Amino acid sequence: MRSPELAGITIRIYTREKDGTLVDYEQDFDVETFAGQIPMIGDMIVNPGVLQGVDRHDPSNRELWTVVGRVFNPRDLNDYVALVVEERAPDPREHSVVAG
């Protein structure tokens, strides 16, 4: 259940490239997408998106995001939190958590 304090918060995803550049993925999520919480540094997220036409239940078609930073009030948007993530393919040992 979402806490009342998080009502109206939008989470925007940014990725950190290998050279440190932050790239806006232009993907917004509400807090409910993340179990009513704002993910913290160190949390892993199964990327909710998959390419159209591929089997979302095949772990090789999924990606994991690891949260490496959080930015509050990005671009002076006080109802946004930017999550900075590093993206990677899941390790075979993680397949059971990535796709069912």
List the domain boundaries for the chain.
4-94
CA distance 38 to 30: 9
* CATH for the 4-94 domain, from 3.10.20, 3.90.1690, 1.10.287, 1.10.10: 3.10.20
Per-residue pLDDT, 10: 94
Mean pLDDT of 20-35: 92
- Residue 15's alpha-carbon distances to 1, 4, 12, 19, 88, in angstroms, are 27, 28, 10, 11, 11
CA distance 57 to 49: 12
Mean pLDDT of 8-17: 93
CA distance 93 to 54: 21
Per-residue pLDDT, 72: 94
The pLDDT tens digits for 39-79 are: 999 999 998 877 788 888 888 888 999 999 999 999 998 89
Q: What percent of the chain has pLDDT over 70?
A: 95
Pick the closest to residue 28 from 79, 89, 66, 86 (CA basis): 79
* Whether the predicted pLDDT of 25 surpasses 80: yes
Please say whether the beta carbons of 3 and 36 come within 8 A: yes
Q: Residue 78: how many CA atoms within 13 Å on its side-chain side?
A: 0
Residue-averaged pLDDT of the chain:
89
